[in-house]
Amino acid sequence: MPYQYANSQLKIFSLNSNNPLAQEIAQEMGVELGKSSVKHFSDGEIQISIEESIRGCDVFIVQSTSAPVNEHLMELLIMVDAVKRASARTVNVVMPYYGYARQDRKAKAREPITAKLVANLLETAGATRVIVLDLHAPQIQGFFDILIDHLMAVPLLSDYFKSKGIPAEEIVIVSPDHGGVTRARKMAERLKAPIAIIDKRRPKPNVAEVMNIVGNVDGKVAILIDDIIDTAGTITIGADALRAAGAKEVYACCSHPVLSGPAIERIENSAIKELVVTNTIQLSEEKKSPKITELSVAKLMADAISRVYENKSVSTLFD
């Protein structure tokens, strides 16, 4: 049953990155999206107008910083500033997808830590809280000096695979690299399945080379899980390696379907039977495929917003 906040001080606004998801969240909450507009000056500068009073309100701004990343990030920062200056009581940023999260450390000399820079920008603009889903690196939470709630898509993805009725003893959950082992283990616990790891080396950005599979996948239904699928090189090479190692079927899933460049072609030509994604990033028509199944995170996001607004614990949504 949807929440009912129609006459409350809760306001939800959407920008341009993922309006369908924002509409779903508002519907779950029993409210209309706030009235605002995003326009551009002739030189491309962004102009945002809030077209209703939000004085004293708890405002939630829904915006993924997906492609075009810089445009959507600037929209978000300008909206946060506008909401703060309109005397909102709190300014809550709901970022289903947190762009720039992959630059979370200095991997080599003279590199920026852009994930920290984005956190600084949001705080400086006036955000009082951030709600995110599946950060690329959980330690990014420590980049913020404001409140942050880090939600996970593993329960949603796990429930989908449970509904397929595959016997638990036939399943193996596979991490495409060492960094994703914790995520794979969480799904494995929910599905009561073992895990395997693909040991890979990346000779250059967006190019992955499979080296070895750690764990038994022979005769199993392998489920690859990752947080982001970008050009799909890692996930498709991994799927082909799993089939070569004896897996009878290969599924894949992720929280954030970036799907850049050759991703769709690679997925369609790969050993992946089905790719399950969430709608943290809006898929354009050219990024849709019969192999791709999309699950909605609207209920999860609505639950988080409701708990924040009512000053209730959000921790039960973290697992």
Encode pLDDT of 13-39 as tens digits: 999 999 999 999 999 999 999 999 999
**Do residues 20 and 55 both lie within one domain?**
yes
**Do residues 86 and 24 both lie within one domain?**
yes
Alpha-helix runs per DSSP H in 89-226: 114-125, 154-163, 181-191
**Do residues 249 and 308 both lie within one domain?**
no
What was the pLDDT predicted at 187? 98
43 annotated to a ligand binding site: yes
Q: Which helix (H) or strand (E) element contains residue 240?
A: helix 233-244
What was the pLDDT predicted at 245? 95
Query: Is this model's pTM higher than 0.85 or not?
Result: yes
What was the pLDDT predicted at 210? 56
Both tokens of 45, joined, read 């500068």
- Mark residue 52 as left, alpha or beta (left: phi above 0; alpha: psi -120 to 50; beta: remaining): beta
Three-state DSSP state, 107:
coil
Who has greater pLDDT, 107 or 197?
A: 197
Q: Is residue 211 a contact partner of residue 200, using CB atoms and an 8 Å limit? A: yes
Buried (b) or exposed (e) across 69-90, using 16+ Cβ within 10 A? bebbbbbbbbbbbbbbeeebeb
230 annotated to a ligand binding site: yes
Rounded CA-CA distance 86/55 in Å is 6
**Do residues 35 and 104 both lie within one domain?**
yes
Q: What is the mean pLDDT of residues 143-148?
A: 98
Q: How confident is the model at residue 1 (pLDDT cuts 50, 70, 90)?
A: very low
**Do residues 115 and 127 both lie within one domain?**
yes
Average pLDDT value for the chain: 94
Q: What is the mean pLDDT of residues 116-144?
A: 97
**Do residues 148 and 224 both lie within one domain?**
no
The catalytic residues are 200
45 annotated to a ligand binding site: yes
Q: What is the mean pLDDT of residues 59-72?
A: 98
Q: Please give the torsion angle defined by the CA atoms of residues 255, 281, 290 and 193, in that order, rounded to the nearest 10 degrees.
A: 10
Query: Cβ contacts of residue 111 below 8 Å, gap of 6+?
Result: 103
What was the pLDDT predicted at 315? 87
Both tokens of 85, joined, read 């200056």
**Residue 59 pLDDT exceeds 90:** yes
Distances (CA, A) of 55 to 9, 92, 256, 316: 9, 14, 34, 31
Residue 3 forms part of a structural domain: no
The tens digit of pLDDT for each residue in 264-299 reads 999 999 999 999 999 999 999 999 999 999 999 999
298 annotated to a ligand binding site: no
**Do residues 111 and 30 both lie within one domain?**
yes
234 annotated to a ligand binding site: yes
What was the pLDDT predicted at 74? 98
What was the pLDDT predicted at 202? 63
**Do residues 165 and 107 both lie within one domain?**
no
103 annotated to a ligand binding site: yes
102 annotated to a ligand binding site: yes
What is the percent of the chain with per-residue pLDDT over 90, rounded to a whole number?
90
Rounded CA-CA distance 179/8 in Å is 42
Q: How confident is the model at residue 143 (pLDDT cuts 50, 70, 90)?
A: very high
**Do residues 69 and 162 both lie within one domain?**
no
What phi, psi does 308 have (nearest 5°)? -65, -45
Q: How confident is the model at residue 156 (pLDDT cuts 50, 70, 90)?
A: very high
What is the percent of the chain with per-residue pLDDT over 70, rounded to a whole number?
94
**Residue 194 pLDDT exceeds 70:** yes
- The secondary structure of 57-92 as a DSSP string is -EEEEE----SSHHHHHHHHHHHHHHHHHTT-SEEE
**Do residues 220 and 291 both lie within one domain?**
yes
**Do residues 207 and 120 both lie within one domain?**
no
Q: Provide the domain limits for residue 33.
A: 10-152+298-317
Least confident of 2-6, 38-42, 166-170, 265-269: 2-6
| Domain at 286, CATH number | 3.40.50.2020
